[in-house]
Amino acid sequence: MILINGKPEQTLSCLDRGLQYGDGLFETIALRNGKLQNWSLHWQRLTIGCERLYLPFPEEEKILDDIGQVTSGVESAVVKILYTRGVGGRGYAFSEVTPTRIIMQFPLPKYPDTNSNEGVNLYLCKTRLAHQPLLAGLKHLNRLENVLARNEWDDTKYAEGLLCCTKGSVIEGTMSNIFMVKNKMLYTPELSQCGVRGVTRTRIIQLAEENKMKVVEDNLSLDDLWQADEIFICNSIIRIWPVKNIADFNFSTSPNLNPVTRQLQHLIN
């Protein structure tokens, strides 16, 4: 089911700035056991994005009402929110227009249990993320870098691709954030220049700190990853997957050798 501005609809004006310029934001939320996961963090990121892009703030009550409609009678699903500046004329300059809100519901994908239990392989993408601090952290609609990166491989042995920025720092996966563990400390790339500040990334940092784990957000290189004791990726749909291989570099994902990853998997479920 799809709602556009609260009404069942599947067509959008070709003049909508979300289509014309990617002028908008989106959120991808897991519904499990009939409950939205981490709604407050998704809402916080959406409102931060609106402030950064000078978009009028949406009404939370309307968004939640739309979500309730598209998920009525559904126990598990992927809920996607698209929020654009709305229909406008030609040119990049925006005037006061009415934003468009789109709420969609999809089946929650079924990934192999081995992804969570045994770990996954990552492809090392050639595409590089450009620095743009004004957009860094946001889940905005301009995702062409991720599209290009994801289409670099079609080998099913790779579950995800790893992205670096134009200066060579590790940033994220094409659809996920990344963490490494070294000496029982958690490290994750700092995202002040590019990348998406994922909701599950934020939740993992919260859980780690609540459980007396030290978390460092810093510039990380591929060499840093090669020295890691553990590596895992995360997002709202997959939650946490251990990484057993990046390109040709292998990591063990035995439960006995990945205690931090396994602990966080238990805490986030």
User: Which of the listed residues 106, 134, 157 is the one where a domain comes to its end?
Assistant: 106
* One domain, residues 91 and 152: no
Count of structural domains within the chain: 2
**Where residue 174 sits, what CATH number does that domain have?**
3.20.10.10
* One domain, residues 230 and 260: yes
For the segment 195-200, the average pLDDT, to the nearest whole number, is: 98
Residue for token digits 């602990």?
A: 263
* One domain, residues 59 and 148: no
User: Which of the listed residues 79, 106, 133 is the one where a domain comes to its end?
Assistant: 106
Q: Residue 158 forms beta bridges with which residues? A: 121
Does pLDDT of 74 surpass 60?
A: yes
Rg of the Cα trace of the chain? 19
Domain containing residue 219: 113-268
DSSP class of 269:
-
* One domain, residues 52 and 68: yes
Name the token pair of 159: 């579950």
* One domain, residues 226 and 159: yes
Catalytic residue among 27, 28, 160, 174: 28
Q: Residue 172 catalytic?
A: yes
pLDDT of residue 255: 53
Distance, in Å, from the CA atom of 75 to the CA atom of 80, rounded to the nearest integer, reads: 16
Q: What is the DSSP track for 229-252?
A: SEEEEEETTTEEEEEEEETTEE--
Catalytic residue among 172, 188, 244, 261: 172
Distance, in Å, from the CA atom of 121 to the CA atom of 8, rounded to the nearest integer, reads: 40
Q: Residue 139 catalytic?
A: yes
Half-sphere exposure of 42 (CA within 13 A, CB side): 22
- Residue 210: pLDDT band with limits 50, 70, 90: very high
Where do the H-state alpha helices sit in 160-248? 199-210, 222-226
Distance, in Å, from the CA atom of 200 to the CA atom of 235, rounded to the nearest integer, reads: 5
Backbone angles phi, psi at 51, to 5 degrees: -60, -45
- Residue 252: pLDDT band with limits 50, 70, 90: low
**Where residue 41 sits, what CATH number does that domain have?**
3.30.470.10
* One domain, residues 56 and 118: no
Find out whether 193 and 217 touch, Cβ atoms under 8 Å: no
Q: What share of the chain is helix, strand, coil (3-state, %, to 5)?
A: 25, 35, 40
3-state secondary structure 49-101: HHHHHCCCCCCHHHHHHHHHHHCCCCCCEEEEEEEECCECCCCCCCCCCCCEE
Distance, in Å, from the CA atom of 155 to the CA atom of 171, rounded to the nearest integer, reads: 22
Find out whether 240 and 234 touch, Cβ atoms under 8 Å: yes
Distance, in Å, from the CA atom of 53 to the CA atom of 249, rounded to the nearest integer, reads: 40
* One domain, residues 15 and 96: yes
Q: Report percent pLDDT > 90 for the chain.
A: 92
* One domain, residues 102 and 118: no
* One domain, residues 164 and 264: yes
* One domain, residues 179 and 72: no
* 23-58 pLDDT tens trace: 999 999 999 999 999 999 999 999 999 999 999 999
* 76-135 pLDDT tens trace: 999 999 999 999 888 999 888 899 999 999 999 999 999 999 999 999 999 999 999 999
* One domain, residues 243 and 165: yes
pLDDT of residue 95: 84
Catalytic residue among 139, 160, 174, 244: 139
* One domain, residues 217 and 252: yes
User: Which of the listed residues 71, 87, 106 is the one where a domain comes to its end?
Assistant: 106
Helix (H) or strand (E) holding 102: strand 100-106
Find out whether 250 and 127 touch, Cβ atoms under 8 Å: no
